Amino acid sequence: MSDSDASRELLTLQELTARVGMSVRNVRFYTTKGLVPPPLRRGRSGYYTADHVARLELVRELQGHGFTLSAIERYVAAIPADATAEDIALHRTMLAPWQADHPVEMSRAELDRRAGRELDESELATLAALRIAVPTTRGRYEVSTSQLGVGIGLLDLGFPTEAAVAAAAVYAEHGRQMATELNELFRTMVWPVYRDAGTSSEKIQEVVERLKPLSIASLVTAYEAAMDETKRERIAERARRAGDADSA
């Protein structure tokens, strides 16, 4: 056993499966797919390290987010082969939901009961566009219970489905752009500082968890400021046009 092996914990296959909550069959399957490296050989025995644990936990996290096997393979393939357990833990941490309000899966009947009436197809489409009640492939709905009342209120006020769909497209487009840029900022300016300081993956996860509510609040504040500025600009533009008309 080398000095580097001696300095890190080595796990048997049984210890690994107990650590990550997977079956031996699944671990071997993911190994054959290249999602985790093969075990370290010590004579006739194979051993696993924290790197194996981190990669298997990442695979499990991706599965939990509904990634298909081929999508998981592509995601993992993009991670450098020499990535440390802490590097991989960062990927897993960034996958965790940013909102504390996890959707609740319910049937159409339960959704109607929560709404207080039977929802028609147009109303369901509006709630889906607003990401309040999203249909699943199993004929059920993932519902944001904290926002359902707000959504029903908008339906009662006649909020048009077309506007909800258009707004959802705007949110998606700019949300992806912000997510990409902020993720790159974290990867290049935040993560290296903690990595070079030898910060544990648990501490990195704590940093990210603390950043989540602050980031969301900052986005809301920036959005409100931009809306106010837009209104002021439009008022000034209307005043300018009125002045031009009077002087004509």
CA–CA gap between residue 134 and residue 27 (Å, rounded)? 33
More confident residue, 191 or 12: 12
Give the C-alpha distances (Å, rounded to integers) separating 115 from 12, 183, 238.
Answer: 52, 37, 41
Residue 27's CB is within 10 A of a number of other CB atoms, namely 20
* Domain range enclosing 48: 3-83
Whether 78 and 12 share a structural domain: yes
Residue 56 lies in a domain: yes
- Contact partners, residue 103, CB within 8 Å, separation at least 6: 134, 142, 143, 144, 145
* Nearest Cα to Cα of residue 15 among 63, 58, 50: 50
Residue 57 lies in a domain: yes
Eight-state DSSP code of residue 132: S
CA–CA gap between residue 52 and residue 37 (Å, rounded)? 7
* CA diameter of the chain: 94
Q: What is the pLDDT of residue 5?
A: 47
Eight-state DSSP code of residue 116: T
- Contact partners, residue 147, CB within 8 Å, separation at least 6: 101, 130, 132
What region, left, alpha or beta, does residue 32 occupy, with left being phi > 0 and alpha being psi -120 to 50 degrees? alpha
Q: What is the pLDDT of residue 26?
A: 93
Whether 59 and 115 share a structural domain: no
Residue 201 lies in a domain: no
Binned at pLDDT 50, 70 and 90, residue 2 comes out as very low
Q: Is the pLDDT of residue 163 over 70?
A: yes
> Tokens standing for 16?
């690994």
Residue 142 lies in a domain: yes
More confident residue, 129 or 241: 129
* Nearest Cα to Cα of residue 127 among 144, 113, 102: 144
Name the percent of the chain lying above pLDDT 70.
Answer: 91
Instruction: Output phi, psi for 172, to 5 deg.
Output: -65, -45
Q: Is the pLDDT of residue 212 over 90?
A: no
Residue 157 lies in a domain: yes
Number of domains in the chain: 2
Domain boundary among 83, 117, 132: 83
pLDDT tens for 39-91 read 998 888 899 998 999 899 999 888 887 788 888 898 888 888 788 877 787 77
Residue 194 lies in a domain: no
Distance from the first to the final alpha carbon of the chain: 90
Domain boundary among 162, 185, 211: 162
Q: What is the pLDDT of residue 202?
A: 72
Eight-state DSSP code of residue 188: I
Helices marked H in 65-107: 69-77, 85-95
Residue 74 lies in a domain: yes
Residue 227 lies in a domain: no
Whether 78 and 133 share a structural domain: no
Q: Is the pLDDT of residue 7 over 50?
A: no
- Mean per-residue pLDDT over the chain, rounded: 84
CA–CA gap between residue 141 and residue 32 (Å, rounded)? 36
Whether 57 and 108 share a structural domain: no
